[in-house]
Amino acid sequence: MHSIWIMSTCITEQVLSEFQEHVSRLREALRSRKDSVRFKSVVDDNEEREAVSVADTLGVRQPSDVYDGDVNLRTLRSLLNLIDERGWERCANFVVL
């Protein structure tokens, strides 16, 4: 009986130490996620980022797209904005508000 109590105590200590390590990893992951979505000043931002043009996102599923039609609608609106920016006049029936 005594050996069972000692064994359960050891297992409990091992589980507790693993739990503490798990909590530490979760806290670090939370800090990392918070930092990645934190608003940053454009002036003070020193991170190297790859420039992404609108043309690179046309027809490509983005994280904000929920449905399959979202990709198509976003692509269509982007293409129409490119047409508008270049000065082409469209019929009033086709102007997207």
Give the pLDDT score at 91: 74
Comparison of pLDDT for 2 and 23, the residue scoring more: 23
- pTM value is 0.40
> For the segment 5-33, what is each residue's pLDDT rounded down to a tens digit?
555 566 688 888 898 999 999 999 998 88
| Residue 27 backbone class (left: φ over 0; alpha: ψ -120 to 50; beta: rest) | alpha
58: buried, middle or exposed (CB in 10 Å: 19+, 13-18, 0-12)?
Answer: middle
